[in-house]
Structure 1
Amino acid sequence: MGNADNITGWITFFIGLYAVAAGVGEFRRPGFWAHIVRELRASNALQFLTGLFTLVIGATIYLVNPWNPADLLAILISVLGAWIFIEGALILAFGDWFLNFAGKLMGSANRLWAGLSVLLGIIAIFAALVRLQV
């Protein structure tokens, strides 16, 4: 259970789990991410819901994570929360342009992105476990 002392560790842990699961999903079904982006580009309703959900998740991470200038992990998680919020706002405001850009990124190097996702997820999980002293 999270509290003010270990919330950064728990946020990092769950972001790491998400990154590993997303990367494994892309490895299992190559083109999975690109297909998601294509479906989002085709549906205004999905763009709106995805943008709203992403914006809320980013704002929540940013607001819940304690700011500590002496703690590099807390800074990284706050910056990540802000970036996720901005990504949601971009999807809401400029969904067609933003998803076009994302589609180009996803279309060229899916295995590379999946590998990077798994690697960063493992690093995040390790950092979280060290932080949580599990």
Structure 2
Amino acid sequence: MFGYFIGALPDFLAYFAAAVTLAALFLFVYVRLTPHRELALIRDGNSAAATQLSGTFLGFAIPVATVIAHSVSIPDMMLWGAVAAMVQLLVFLVIARLVFAGISARIAEGCTASGIFVGGIGLGIGILQAACMIP
């Protein structure tokens, strides 16, 4: 058993490092593309922004976790992770531009319902993505 652990540890470390890098890149791009400044709002105690970003991040992380479990290589995982990121960005774009044009401002104002809605939709779409990414 210990031999298996030692043999599998490099793969774990490589996948984990790749996944954390992908997650950091996703968060970096996402908070730059949304009109409101999630991190500053969260620092100021805005629970709407915290809920929105947390739900969106989980909506990204769940498909990535599924892909890690089923991928054939790190590049394969990174490509599918990029798809998950693009879908989450598209979810926010559709909500903020087509469904509720003022939702970003409402999140910035601290409207928790808006944050829950955006985060929840992102999480739900992420779960659907995860199911679709299994071969």
TM-score (norm. length: structure 2): 0.28
**Higher RCO (C-alpha under 8 Å, 6+ residues apart):** 1
TM-score (norm. length: structure 1): 0.28
Larger Rg over CA atoms: 2
